[in-house]
Structure 1
């Protein structure tokens, strides 16, 4: 199946600013978040991932330029070619001077939702055959009142005038040009002038959520199952974290497990053994 045009996916023009792209992605992330589309979960997850992929490509100046020139074909092998995903000379020095001078550089990953870990006790039979169960997870979820934007319903965050929506500004330190988190918007790129009263402008609220978890057959104690997008909601519609379910098998009254083998200790008499 051919990939859709990334600009069409986000519903923006080809000359859209970073602030426009962020705003469009935030709207789609809220609309197709898996937690809000349990009845059409598969379709929602597909559209959510599609929007995330478009956002990541168009928010990076290198990949966006390459995409504008060559389309999807121009992105094949791009991440591993050394042009993207690695720390350059300026990034390395920026990190060093960030520690020294407190520049406080912030990547977009820091705005993403936190990963969560949940320990699940299961029976030996469930571990052997696999099962589906439900767990209650306390976590941060998008605020329903503002759809996760943090702004009062009917309003939208405005583009930060200090950083122009980039979330970062450049400063001069000892002759070096360094990049730091915008002190005005704290890296968000937008300013909320009319905050939502339900979440105090945070875009997230604490809620205990019941989630379905699939336990595959043959799982062992200590094994973790990753559930993408089931962690805490990201700020202002950014990517949610993942939920890691660590399994712990309860001791069995009769059987004992050793790897893929099951042992049963049966007491017998000397006569039977002979």
Structure 2
């Protein structure tokens, strides 16, 4: 190789290692056989690789600068060329080495998110509530303050990787010696070793602890809704930032109301006579669950009157607008009341006599009944829709 190695890479003779590495990667992307099939480009790529092999090695570079043969008589690409396969991969795929080496990984890392399930009553989910919860999570070690080292001591550079966090593994192939970098097993890639770990946390920088938090549950949450508490999750290793805590809401069954989205549903039973003559029923509201004996001035309506029209049929529904569950984004659902008419099963003699007189007056002593299909097929429903039924 007669051409000057510095000229091959296009760098000055006093260029530092990072400048030489960047120049090599730029040329490797230009002349590598996988992207440039020109035979002359392949030959140029070999020369560039040999130049980088010499100038990236301080000992070989010093020998070359003194006029010596840095290859020790080896000839040809692949016969002793100790270029870094990692450098080529980084040049094409933008690996961490393209920014000056992967380096040691930090001990401080973000903690994991945590999840806790909280059961609330339907009224609490509807109107919102503030609750205290107890959580078991990793917290910052107060002895070492996250460093993992016993107070008065500190981590020291790893002797195996000399603080780099990674070590080179050389493997021979038809290309020559391929050098790959792997995390250092001695320091687990951190680049430092804690010779005297904290006895409280064992060098992790965090410990488990139970603590009490206050969570505000907004009005309108539904079963399965998650409330996020930012920064209240697990503290990260090495005292890293905490993750988030998610409180998953589970709504307990209610004895009166069931929920469907923002709507409430309930079923009210009433006697046959009340359904026939009509009546007014007093029903509780969901707000009644959040009003105690001391909240008489709260202004919340604890009951309401439901007017049952004469001749109400069993299974009919009444929709009361705005008496359901508040929405997370405003508004409020409806309350759907299903009326079930109860038929008496036991009659005394006088009651039976009166009912028979009523049946005679209405001509219902021997009713023939009306037979109709319980379920209609799709085409039957379409036919009735077109016929106005």
User: TM-score normalized by structure 2?
Assistant: 0.40
Q: What residue in structure 2 maps to residue 232 of structure 1?
A: 234
Tell which has more relative contact order, 1 or 2 (C-alpha 8 A, sep 6+): 1
1:202 to 201, 204, 207: 204
The 5 A counterparts of 1:128-207 are 128-163=126-161, 165=163, 167-169=165-167, 171-172=169-170, 178-207=180-209
Unaligned runs of 5+ in 1: 1-87, 93-105
Unaligned runs of 5+ in 2: 1-91, 97-103, 279-311, 314-389
Q: What residue in structure 1 maps to residue 371 of structure 2?
A: none
The number of aligned residues is 174
* 8 Å CA contact retained: 2:140, 2:206: yes
Per-residue deviation, residues 102-149 of structure 1 (Å, max 9, x unmatched):
xxxx97699432221111111111111112211111122111111121
Instruction: Identify the structure with the greater helix proportion.
Output: 1
Report the alpha carbon displacement of residue 202 of structure 1 after superposing the two structures with TM. 2.1
- 2:123 alignment partner, SS class: helix
Report the alpha carbon displacement of residue 253 of structure 1 after superposing the two structures with TM. 1.2
Counterparts of 2:237 and 2:109, CA distance in 1: 6
- 1:120 alignment partner, SS class: strand
Per-residue deviation, residues 227-261 of structure 1 (Å, max 9, x unmatched):
22212111112222221211110011111110011
Q: What residue in structure 1 maps to residue 116 of structure 2?
A: 118
**Taking structure 1 as reference, are residues 126 and 167 closer, same or farther at Cα in structure 2, changes over 3 Å only?**
farther
* 8 Å CA contact retained: 2:105, 2:191: no
**Taking structure 1 as reference, are residues 107 and 155 closer, same or farther at Cα in structure 2, changes over 3 Å only?**
closer
User: TM-score normalized by structure 1?
Assistant: 0.55
Counterparts of 1:225 and 1:108, CA distance in 2: 31
Counterparts of 2:234 and 2:110, CA distance in 1: 9
Cα RMSD for the two superposed structures: 3.0
**Taking structure 1 as reference, are residues 176 and 211 closer, same or farther at Cα in structure 2, changes over 3 Å only?**
farther
**Taking structure 1 as reference, are residues 258 and 152 closer, same or farther at Cα in structure 2, changes over 3 Å only?**
same
Q: What residue in structure 2 maps to residue 89 of structure 1?
A: 93
Counterparts of 2:105 and 2:127, CA distance in 1: 42
**Taking structure 1 as reference, are residues 249 and 186 closer, same or farther at Cα in structure 2, changes over 3 Å only?**
same
